[in-house]
Structure 1
Amino acid sequence: MKVFVLDPHMIYRRGLTSCLGDAEGIDAVAEAGSVGDAWVHPDLPESTVVVLDHGLPGGLEFIRQVREATGAQVLVCSSRSEEGEVVAAVAAGSMGYVCKDTLTPESLVAAVRAAASGAGVMEPGMLGTLLRGISRASEEVLEPRGLSLTRLNPREQQVLRLVAEGHPIREVAEQLRYSERTIKNVIHDVVTKLNVRTRSQAVARAVREGLI
């Protein structure tokens, strides 16, 4: 696996590069400090994952374009976790969003590996932020027009959102006033519908594809 780090702050960028360069399974790490430098870097087209702070000038557009141009997965690593920032990054095509303030060498490497495999990467707190943003877009823009972001029915959406926020089956059942067996059946239906194997995979795919 080859990783490309794009961040305007040299010290932080070098720190990310050093952590990733020492990790097993990562063959090479390249870096750039600006979008312009990234586009002309010879290693960008061969990169499996691009790690970047989308707050740099042209960052969001870069996410959109680099996936189309190279097929690389994008992992956003930012100090900002506002709802609009998270939703914008995912909408642009990022496979994940991690916070600089809580990042460790181990969690960085794990996130890069997950992104490389096509799995969505999101810290629990940010996941809730993303879900609220998507929900607001649905309520304010789509629902008044009779449209929907998802092929999941309302009950499936409710259950999956609560599961995504970290609630166990018992709490989901209590909040929605269903039996635990009903909640398990709903989750089973969602897992089958999304063609995944586990509830965690269902949550990751639903968030990545804007289904909840």
Structure 2
Amino acid sequence: MEPVRVGISAVDPITHSGLASFLSARDEMVVVDAAELTERDVLVVQVDRMTPQVMTELRSQGRELVPKVLVTGELKDSDVVSAVECRVVAVLPRNRISEDRLASAVLSAASGRGLIPPEMLGKLFDNIRRLQHEVLAPRGLGAAGLTAREVDVLRLMAEGRDTGEIAGELCYSERTVKNVVYELTSRLNLRNRPHAVAYAMQAGVI
């Protein structure tokens, strides 16, 4: 299995070197220039706090589709939603970071899973509840606007299964699983997989 390609964006050279040292020590990943990343890779972003400038950089061309692990010292309620919108799929408090935590977050992001602390998921729920009221479920869908197949995929995703595991459990191809996720996130205007899981949890279907 090829190692996960990881890029790093940090606020200062010392922090950048520290993160690179953590990641380079693992056989499962290799550190590359952040400018070379694709949507199959992972970007580790260290910031003191989310600001409009940080969000602009995260959404910049070439980075908008790259899964991101956010390492930050401060994250306000409104920042969680902004982070998810920038395709942040894992969040690590800077004061609790370790080599193992960082590696776990990167590998989760690379496999299509999220690693957002439960207390932060709660901050998404109010916004998702508002979204539920705004979305008119199309004919043939459940009250949450999800098909039975989509619910099955989201339930396994919430258990931490990756794309291959979900495909095997449901007897689908990996392409079918990816298409299911793409269709539901596009239809319901959800930003990524953690956002979709949070939506389904709040809707009470998983």
Scaled to the shorter chain, the TM-score interval is: 0.5 to 0.7
Residue 135 of structure 2 corresponds to residue 148 of structure 1: yes
Structure 1 runs, 4 residues or longer, greater than 4 Å off: 44-47, 66-69, 149-152, 189-192
**Tell me, what secondary structure is at the counterpart of 2:135?**
coil
From the CA coordinates, give the structure whose radius of gyration is larger.
Answer: 1
1:11 to 6, 14, 19: 14
Hey, what's the Cα distance between the residues in 2 that align with 1:103 and 1:191?
37
Q: Alignment partner of 1:111: what SS?
A: helix
User: Is structure 2 residue 73 aligned with structure 1 residue 79?
Assistant: yes
How many angstroms apart in 1 are the aligned matches of 2:10 and 2:118? 24
Counterpart code for 2:23: L
Match runs of 1:46-85 below 5 Å: 48-53=41-46, 55=50, 58-66=53-61, 71-85=65-79
Matches within 5 A, 1:60-139: 60-66=55-61, 71-135=65-129, 138=130
Deviations 1:145-189 (A, max 9, x none): xx23987637x9xxxxxxxxxxxxxxxxxxxxxxxxxxxxxxxx9
- Distance in 2 (CA, whole Å) between partners of 1:122 and 1:76 is 10
* Percent identity between the two aligned chains: 22
Report how many aligned residue pairs link the two structures. Answer: 161
Write the distance in 1 (CA, Å) between the matches of 2:103 and 2:40.
15
Greater RCO structure (CA 8 Å; 6+ sep): 2
- Name the structure with the higher helix share: 1
1:53 touches 1:59 (CA, 8 Å); kept in 2? no
SS at structure 2 position matched to 1:53: strand
Relative to structure 1, the CA distance from residue 115 to residue 206 in structure 2 (aligned partners, 3 Å threshold; closer, same or farther) is closer
The runs of 5 or more residues in structure 1 that have no matched partner are 31-37, 157-188
1:17-67 C-alpha deviation (Å, 9 max, x unpaired): 11011012112344xxxxxxx6xx5x4469811111353673212322356
Distance 1:90 1:149 in 2: 23
**Structure 2 residue corresponding to 1:193, chosen from 151, 169, 189:** 151
SS in 1 for 2:92: strand
Structure 2 unaligned spans of 5+: 162-191
- What is aligned with 2:195? 207
Distance 2:148 2:88 in 1: 23
